[in-house]
Amino acid sequence: MVAGHALFERKPRRPAPSPTRHPFFSKDFLKWIRKAPGPCVGIDLGTGAVKLVRLDQLNGEWEVSGVACEEYPRDISEQEKTGFLADKLREFRQRGLLGGRVAFGISDDRVTVESLSLPKMPPGDLAKAVAWEAKERLGADAATHCVRHLLVEERQVEGQIQMETLLFAVPRQEVVPAVEAISAHGCRVVAAEPGILAVAAAVEASGLGKADGFWAVLDVGFRHSTLVCLVGGRVRFVRSFSVAGEAMTRSISEYCKMDVESAERQKQTVGLDSAAAGGPVETPPAGADARLQVVHAMVMHLDRLITEVDQSLRYVAYYAMERGRAAPIDRLYLTGGGALLKGLPKFMESRLSVKVEAVNSFQKIAVSEEVRRRLGVEAPPARLMGALGLAMRLTGKE
């Protein structure tokens, strides 16, 4: 299983073991949650949409019984998002989608991730050391931020055991309002975590990603793209980039001199099939076909993203080699709304010389007939991976 833990876990109403250890949800927390009856609901609070996946247990097996993907209106303010979320939660409740236990995903652009190398110490002392580092490095103290950590590995350095750790910090103002809004509809919010970690869990639950290998997930969202790299079944690297769906649309709008709505339609219609063969995409001459101009505008932006991803993958490969885990990356998996762009996997594969694959974890789990009708139309699977990972976590399966 991918090693990690929830960024924020609420204590259950009845006594339960401390849920602040590893992996994502600690084993003690999983044991408690297995005994709690009812549906499991994952809600992914992205920058472009609110996504939901509900799991119900039928005849001892978990089945996806409900999904939703509600896009925020373009140019909506952060303050207006609170009201939008409240309205959509009310709709979800009326549609029978809410209920039972809920875990929600925090948008990755709200989460700060920092790598730490600390001397080996007991878990309690490690938590205190991480909190001190968060305050000193990021100005994130317990009063204003939720601070958690992910133990990557222990290794010997000059005769001393070091604990390689990832620190996660998110402002409480991003967590508390979401908890209050969801709880107002009679749900038990038991946990939350960065969206990209939930996406990685959904990919792994699909049977993808070699447990002893090196693989990565790139979630191409609305306002940012986030990369998570796993080596030997453990999260080793998390990084966000500003190149994403909205940036590509605006690039088309500015380069091709068209409004944003038309640019979005052109992006989805034209895609990248013509550029997927590899090689440079030359600047179209004046008066060139509009499709060529659209492709060029997208490629200008995507090449920046690909450069960042390539550098990150090389860094993780070198990191793994230093620690005796030398292995080439097996595969890069694409998720998020941006992964729906036609020709994107082949285009990235030609640039990175790495196998790139768009993922649909819903093919690996039981799905109700009603959900099957909705998938790909109202709620594309690529956009629901985070919500699915959150809901699957709440089933208590390790």
Tally the domains of the chain: 2
Pair 13, 84 in one domain: yes
The answer to whether position 171 is within a domain reads yes
Q: Where are the alpha helices (DSSP H) in the chain?
A: 27-34, 78-94, 123-133, 172-183, 195-205, 245-256, 260-270, 290-322, 344-352, 369-374, 385-393
Pair 201, 161 in one domain: yes
Task: Please choose, from the candidates 60, 88, 13, 55, the residue with its C-alpha nearest in 3D space to the C-alpha of residue 390.
Answer: 55
Q: How far is CA 303 from CA 131, 155, 239, 346, in A?
A: 37, 36, 17, 14
The answer to whether position 135 is within a domain reads yes
Pair 376, 294 in one domain: no
Pair 369, 320 in one domain: no
Pair 305, 351 in one domain: yes
The answer to whether position 371 is within a domain reads yes
Structure tokens at 282: 């030359």
Q: Is 35 exposed, middle or buried (0-12, 13-18, 19+ CB in 10 A)?
A: exposed
Pair 33, 136 in one domain: yes
Pair 315, 365 in one domain: no
Range of the domain at 330: 241-356
Q: Give the model's pLDDT for residue 19.
A: 33
Whole-prediction pTM value? 0.85
The answer to whether 7 and 106 are in contact (CB under 8 A) is: yes
Task: Please choose, from the candidates 371, 359, 369, 300, the residue with its C-alpha nearest in 3D space to the C-alpha of residue 335.
Answer: 359
The answer to whether position 231 is within a domain reads no
The answer to whether position 204 is within a domain reads yes
The answer to whether position 304 is within a domain reads yes
The answer to whether position 177 is within a domain reads yes
CATH number of residue 373's parent domain: 3.30.420.380
Pair 274, 312 in one domain: yes
Structure tokens at 85: 């979320």
pLDDT in tens, 105-130: 998 888 999 999 999 999 899 999 99
Of 396 and 247, the one with more pLDDT? 247
Residue 79: what residue type? Q
pLDDT in tens, 247-262: 889 989 998 899 999 9
Pair 65, 152 in one domain: yes
Task: Please choose, from the candidates 70, 87, 95, the residue with its C-alpha nearest in 3D space to the C-alpha of residue 222.
Answer: 70
